[in-house]
Chain A
Amino acid sequence: MKRVDHAGASSRFIEAKDHADFHDMRLWDLRKKRDAEAIDIPEWEELRGLASAIKEHTLTHLADYLEQFERNATANGMVVHWARDAAEHNQIVFDILEAHQATTLVKSKSMLTDECEMRPFLANRDIEIIETDLGERIQQLDDEPPSHIVVPAVHKLRGDVAEVFARTIGTDPKNHDVPYLAESQRMHTRPYYLTAGAGMTGANFAVAETGSFVVCTNEGNADLSTNLPKLHIASIGIEKLIPKIEHLGVFIRMLSRSALGSPITQITSHFRAPRPGTEMHVVLVDNGRSERLGMADFWYSLKCIRCGACMNTCPVYRRSGGLSYGSTYSGPIGVIIDPTFNLRKYSALPFASTLNGSCTSVCPVKINIHEQIYKWRQIIAERHQLPMVKKEAMRVAGRILARPRLYRAAVQAAATGIDKLPRFMIYNPFNAWGHQREVPSSPSQTFRQWYLKNRGADK
């Protein structure tokens, strides 16, 4: 499978200056709002520690909590399914829909169903799917994956949305007014709630003790999707478990503050049992999570609550856009999760980082994101997935830098004239430096030469 070319995609992203400027500004604004909310809570750092500990505890007792959840959810009247991978998940969902003769599915946002590529699978089986989250709907109508896990269409300007809606739902292409566009989409989507045979959600949290799950939204679409049709299917990644309802408060306090810098989502829905006369199905999905749980350096990534704070703060993500990562999960969290799905395909992503560490500092569950990025680089090098030019540059640099005499020859050549480039810099594609940057001017002597002249005598 072809490697994702993050640098190439980011170059195209940056060329569209208005888009790039807006994207960076919009997400930085979310980061600032997140800071303001975090500062407002004196025990914020304590909450992060607590959230991390709860998640680590749960993940290290995951099998027990999953079975507890299944028992309690079943006792509540839900039907619980287990999906080993994406294919099983999609088949289970289809089988449930088919058994209910449901041909239309209204769906709220779920990264997991994107991960499983459920939409094309069901579309091929004549199921009509309507995404009801505004951003996700924009992306669906434009036939593009979400570019951000919380704000899926954040890379689009209002003019882009007007173009998509004009093309797909018949709005006036010249009208870029946001309320007009939002209302048009709403009027277009609303009738589906009434006719759909099934509604679907993901879950932000699943509580083992109560056998219930929680969905946090801002648009009310999840509640319409679940309370109008007679069938509710929820796809839940197995890492979404928390032990008790009392733990929920820790996460609810941090989720929306971290994501959007708002104290809480507009709606926090608890689903515990089907309404009379309806059915509620839960699909618990592994799809590589158990394997990740077994990775000594990377299992912490399963603590993620999908708030997107790491993406909002990431200076690389903000300037390259989510689609440049070529995966369901983009930004820092994507960089450390994606290689577990396909090391070769996503081998460039851990290098799409300056290792600045801001992601780790904002993560509400204290995932050591930038340290995992560093670790992934080692694994990618060890498994021979580095591009040849980088591999060769490092081999040569390593040889020169381990030998003082070779090093001195190289450095003196560099210092006395940038036009006489030493080998390690030629093998390094150092010329990329000069595309948009000046190279440092060459000093008359190296530090070492100065030292020998000025301090050498008495040593």
Chain B
Amino acid sequence: MLEGTIAMKVALFVPCYVDAFFPEVGIATLELLERLGCEVDFPLDQTCCGQPMANSGCHQDARGTEALYAKNFAGYDHIVTPSGSCAHHVRDHMTAIEQTPAVQKVRRNTRELVEFLHDVLQVREFPWAEFPHKVGLHIGCATLRGLREATTSEIAEPAFNKPKQLLSAVKGIEFVAPKRIDECCGFGGTFSVFEEPVSVRMGQDKVSDHHNAGAEFIVSPDMSCVMHQQGCARRMGLPLKFIHIAQVLNGARG
């Protein structure tokens, strides 16, 4: 535990696609939270937040999954997940189930990892972290415009960027910016398969933009966007690498 930090009990929510395809992101999130002094619970019956069904309009089909989420995470003051769109769903869209006080509390207390680090723990230093690479930052749209983790190019207001602020504390990191700084990458959940032509075209444009800016790595708090972008980049033969922000903040060297 870091000196001066307060022990905090946290429940970890590892979204289904991270559980299945990117266990290293879950591990990095868990280790980072522990390193920062949190006592981390991982409720073993967790599955998903209900977003895939709800975003498709199928609230009936989302109900059971949302109820299970609310049951698994009931009573925790802090529920942390390394996925912005899941946190956005829980907080802003988890309405298929009855809104009991317990459900409302679970929803309110669910945060994306960067929000938790930045706003709750207020961590500003990661002395163990070093990432000597040119990095393009990708903040998914739910994280950006839903959770408002950063200001956007559409609205002129005093700028802030929570993921970038945290990453700026990592030694050796160098940011390079794509031309279209916050254009959607085209993942969009089931959009990625039901609107495959546009989704892929957007993904190709996004990774090309990062590549042309000189990025070696794309770092993101949103693994679902990354899954899509990585898929596009690999097929195109671009030498881009992808890594979750939790891994970088936890000290991965790339």
Contacts and interface: CB of A to CB of B under 8 A. Distances in A.
B19 A446 contact: yes
A87 interface: no
B202 A437 contact: no
Interface in A316-345: 316, 319-320
A43 B54 CA distance: 37
Contacts of B232: 436-437
Contacts of A459: 41-42
B194 A432 contact: yes
Instruction: Give the interface residue-count category, chain B.
Output: 35 or more
A424 to B, nearest CB: 9
B253 interface: no
B21 to A, nearest CB: 4
Interface stretch (B64-72, B106-114, B128-136, B210-218): B64-72
A332 B165 CA distance: 32
B193 A448 contact: no
A440 B22 contact: yes
Interface stretch (A3-11, A141-149, A239-247): A3-11
Contact of B23 (A6, A404, A445): A445
A157 interface: no
B23 A446 contact: yes
Contacts of B16: 401, 407, 411
Interface stretch (A101-109, A168-176, A375-383): A375-383
* Chain B interface helix/strand/loop/mixed: helix
A44 B155 CA distance: 9
A352 interface: yes
* Chain A interface helix/strand/loop/mixed: helix
A315 B68 contact: no
Nearest to A35: B153
Contact of A7 (B52, B189, B194, B230): B194
A437 B237 CA distance: 11
B3 interface: no
Instruction: Give the interface residue-count category, chain A.
Output: 35 or more
A448 B231 contact: no
Nearest to B64: A402
A397 B201 contact: no
B240 to A, nearest CB: 12
A399 B182 CA distance: 35
A438 interface: yes
B59 interface: yes
Contacts of B62: 398
Contact of A355 (B18, B61, B141, B194): B141
B78 interface: no
B20 A411 contact: yes
B178 interface: no
B194 A438 contact: no
Contact of B186 (A315, A398, A432, A445): A315
Given A353-B191, A381-B57, A395-B61, A448 B19 contact: yes
28 contacts: A315-B184, A315-B202, A319-B201, A352-B198, A354-B191, A356-B141, A356-B188, A358-B184, A362-B154, A380-B57, A386-B56, A390-B190, A390-B194, A394-B61, A400-B47, A401-B52, A401-B64, A402-B64, A402-B65, A433-B196, A438-B234, A439-B231, A440-B227, A440-B231, A445-B23, A446-B23, A448-B14, A448-B19
Interface of B: 14, 16, 18-27, 30, 41-42, 44-48, 50, 52-53, 55-65, 67-68, 93, 141-142, 145-146, 152-157, 180, 182-184, 186-205, 227-228, 230-232, 234-235
Closest 7 CB pairs of A and B: A402-B64, A354-B188, A398-B61, A377-B57, A437-B231, A381-B57, A447-B26
